[in-house]
């Protein structure tokens, strides 16, 4: 099919694979690791990101210390206890000192075999926290994979004991698909706009930084739920006790003004910024 032809409608909708969303989430947290339980057919999907889409991707390493690890587990023959070697691998990766958080998921045939990724993740003691991402590649696409991976990262954060800080904001569900300058500029602009509303941007979840940076979301008094991070935003708000505000994306002049008004009302500052443009 000639997908670039303008002479006719596309015959089908292109849909990127579920695992790619998980890789995008891992790519956006520089000290994270994703363990993919299955054969190495999943590894070719990393090439969509590393060395192609994101010139600054650190998912792959020239010395073999990759941040995506494949178990090479096939559908047949099944080992007597396939969970035992995976548990040993997760304990080894978590205790290696190379990562601050580890995600684990599997391919569909291992889901059908009944592997308990949630239980395996919970059974890891010591080292970095390990958290499962549902093995849902038969049912979901890359955006769902990204959303579920973000929620897994939010679940991995330790609960915060201190009360959230008033007028501080965390944006959950930002989509940093590249570690390049356009996203740094986006975040700088969002920070400036929120400052005009009397709010402080405490955390962008995620933004290409470390897992420790993500924990600052639990300091915020207001969690802003963006479209790609609804579950993660709800998890963060539940952990910290912060107020949750669900929004769309700040696109265009009117759209951005309306978005700011929604966030401003959620943060309840004393007054709107001078000269603010009202939404429709």
In the β-sheet with 220-225, what is the strand arrangement from edge to edge? 200-205, 165-172, 220-225, 243-246
- Are 144 and 169 in the same domain? no
In tens, the pLDDT along 78-131 reads: 667 888 999 999 999 999 999 999 999 999 998 888 899 999 999 998 899 999
- Are 24 and 51 in the same domain? yes
Does residue 96 lie in a domain region? yes
- Are 55 and 138 in the same domain? yes
- Are 22 and 152 in the same domain? yes
Domain boundary among 156, 179, 202: 156
Residues 50 and 60 sit within 8 Å (Cβ to Cβ): yes
- Which pTM does this prediction carry? 0.87
Q: What per-residue confidence (pLDDT) applies to 179?
A: 83
In tens, the pLDDT along 172-196 reads: 999 998 888 889 999 999 999 999 9
Domain boundary among 156, 186, 210: 156
Burial class (CB in 10 A: 0-12, 13-18, 19+), 53: middle
Q: Indicate the number of domains in the chain.
A: 2
- Are 147 and 172 in the same domain? no
Token pair 């396939």: residue: 82
- Are 130 and 97 in the same domain? yes
In tens, the pLDDT along 223-251 reads: 999 998 999 999 999 999 999 999 999 99
Distance (Å, whole) CA 27 – CA 54: 9
Distance (Å, whole) CA 129 – CA 122: 9
- Are 103 and 202 in the same domain? no
Does residue 10 lie in a domain region? no
- Are 123 and 235 in the same domain? no
- Are 148 and 169 in the same domain? no
Other beta carbons within 10 angstroms of residue 27's beta carbon come to 27
Tell me which residue range forms the domain holding 251. Answer: 165-267
- Are 146 and 24 in the same domain? yes
- Are 43 and 144 in the same domain? yes
Does residue 5 lie in a domain region? no
- The percentage of residues in the chain with a pLDDT greater than 70, rounded to a whole number, is 89
Does residue 89 lie in a domain region? yes
- Are 172 and 253 in the same domain? yes
Residues 19 and 37 sit within 8 Å (Cβ to Cβ): no
Residue 139's CATH number: 3.40.50.1980
Token pair 């991070």: residue: 229
Does residue 194 lie in a domain region? yes
In the β-sheet with 130-132, what is the strand arrangement from edge to edge? 68-70, 32-37, 101-106, 130-132
Does residue 40 lie in a domain region? yes
- pLDDT greater than 90 at residue 11: no
Domain boundary among 156, 185, 213: 156
């Amino acid at each position: 099919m000639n997908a670039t032809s303008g002479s006719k409608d596309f015959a089908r909708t292109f849909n990127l694979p579920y695992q790619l969303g998980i890789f995008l989430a891992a790519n956006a947290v520089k000290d994270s690791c994703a363990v993919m339980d299955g054969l190495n057919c999943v590894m070719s999907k990393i090439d969509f990101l590393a060395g192609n889409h994101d010139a600054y991707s650190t998912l792959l390493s020239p010395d073999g210390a990759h941040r995506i690890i494949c178990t090479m587990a096939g559908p047949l023959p099944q080992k007597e206890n396939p969970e035992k070697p995976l548990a040993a691998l997760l304990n080894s990766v978590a205790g290696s000192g190379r990562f601050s958080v580890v995600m684990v998921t599997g391919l569909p045939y291992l889901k059908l075999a009944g592997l308990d990724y949630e239980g395996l993740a919970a059974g890891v003691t010591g080292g970095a926290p390990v958290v499962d991402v549902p093995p849902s590649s038969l049912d979901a696409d890359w955006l769902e994979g990204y959303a579920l991976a973000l929620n897994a990262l939010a679940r991995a954060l330790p609960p915060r004991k201190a009360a959230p800080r008033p007028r501080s904001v965390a944006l959950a569900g930002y989509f940093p698909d590249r570690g390049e300058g356009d996203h740094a500029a986006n975040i700088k602009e969002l920070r400036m706009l929120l400052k005009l509303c009397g709010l402080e941007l405490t955390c962008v979840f995620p933004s290409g930084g470390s897992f420790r940076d993500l924990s600052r979301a639990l300091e915020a008094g207001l969690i802003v739920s963006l479209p790609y991070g609804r579950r993660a935003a709800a998890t963060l708000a539940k952990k910290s006790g912060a107020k949750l505000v669900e929004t769309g994306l700040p696109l265009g002049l009117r759209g951005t003004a309306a978005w700011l008004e929604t966030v401003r009302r959620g943060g309840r500052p004393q007054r709107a910024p001078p000269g603010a443009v009202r939404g429709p």
